[in-house]
Amino acid sequence: MAEMNRRRALQLLAALGTTGLAAGCGSGDDTTEQAPAGSPIKIGLIVPGGGPNKVIGEEITNGFQLFLSLHSQQLGGHPVTLVPAEEGNSAATGKAAVDRLLKEGVLALTGVVDPVVMTGIRDTVEQARVPLIGSNASPATLQGVVYIWRTSYVLDEPGVALGQYLRQNLDASSRIAIFGTQGPGSQDVVAGFRRGYEQGRRLTEDPIYTPDYATPSKRAYAGPIRKALERKPDAVFCHYSGPQAVQFVKQLYDEGYRGPVYAPGFLTEGTVLDQLDDGEKGRDRQLIERFGIETALNYSADLNNTANRVFASAYRKTFNASPTTYAMASYDAALVLDKAIRLVGRDPSPQQVNLALGKIGQVDSPRGSWQFNQPRTPQQKWYLRKVQLDGRMLSNVVINELATLG
């Protein structure tokens, strides 16, 4: 991937049009066009360019670039060059990306999709004393950091939110089949679900962890699902995303399950619903409408607040798609860097920016107002979303607020 250049910036601006740009720059914080520009800075963007997380990487890139395009390609009054690097899928590839960006002289880092990569680069980032604004869900074990901040959430939080919700809304005798991929991500989600649910009651079923397939086959989950359905569960809780989410839901119905599905919002985020929507007379759509898929997430594109109306409208106009939580968290990563760099002034250093991140206070975000807590993650609202028809398409529609966590 090449550096984001002037041509790309002009393409984004052209796609937004003058009306969208004016709307995006109408708040009191948007003073970069009037203020003299400071010295140029570089921001390192760590994202996957291939594999199952490629789409998430693209949306993270889109979110950050959209903020820049709405703010004259500046952060805190400084012209920005966005320098991408391939994160890969291991600690070694992530470290190589960080090392290369540090040699480029970046002021800060952002991105990182894979929790394994985030854990693997922790020490490198902390020793370099360059702030990293992670813009995807991060592992619960990432504690005690000074230079790593997160604008998404900690992986156990959607489990906690849904666990509390189901404890209040399911009978204590209910059987819940629990599925997830092998690895720390699903383990964090399930641990959070247990904490939220097991207060005065216990989950009776052991979690079933399936291989972390890049491209699962049409029978990849059939065996584990069949085994779980023998116990006649009243509900299913699961943690999948992307192609895995599509195949898991389809195979769940193939094996005869006819009941509600609950999950962190990744299950229906991005292009998943497009692939599950088999038309008005299709089986999958009819089953989803009849039995329901409900998810917990910190964002939905239909949230009715000023910041989201600006963001979602500009995103749709630029990329011809609804924004996801991935794009929103990356947009917010640019937003908090903009605020922190502005606090530092004309000659920011990575250490000064890191200190300033702790002073920015409330963030007026498309998800709603939030702020960093002591572990450097957002204290934010969680929303219950239900898959419903929005016009003729399946969409995630917010039906309730679940909790404030963080």
pLDDT tens per residue, range 272-288: 999 999 988 899 999 99
* Of residues 104, 89, 101, 141, the one with CA closest to residue 125: 101
* Rounded-to-integer distance, Cα 201 and Cα 191, Å: 15
Which pLDDT value is given to residue 279? 86
How does residue 391 score in pLDDT terms, banded at 50, 70 and 90?
confident
**Which tens digits make up the pLDDT trace of 8-30?**
444 444 444 433 333 333 333 44
d(CA 377, CA 136): 11
CA 57 to chain centre: 10
Q: If you average pLDDT over residues 47-57, what whole number do you get?
A: 90
pLDDT of residue 393: 87
State how far the alpha carbon of 59 is from the alpha carbons of 56, 129, 227, 385, in Å.
5, 27, 36, 20
- Looking at residue 38, its pLDDT comes to 87
Give the pLDDT confidence of 204-246 residue by residue, as tens digits: 999 999 999 989 999 999 999 999 999 999 999 999 998 999 9
Q: Average pLDDT of 322-328?
A: 95
Q: What is the mean pLDDT of residues 166-179?
A: 96
- Confidence category of residue 57, pLDDT binned at 50, 70, 90: very high
| Confidence (pTM) | 0.87
**What is the structure's pLDDT at 12?**
46
List b or e across 141-161, with b for residues whose CB sees 16 or more CB atoms inside 10 angstroms. Answer: ebeebebbbbbbbbbbbbbbb
Measure Cα distances from 179 to 107, 203, 297, 338 in Å: 40, 13, 18, 39
Please report which confidence band the pLDDT of residue 36 belongs to, taking 50, 70 and 90 as the band edges. low
Which tokens go with 179? 């599925």
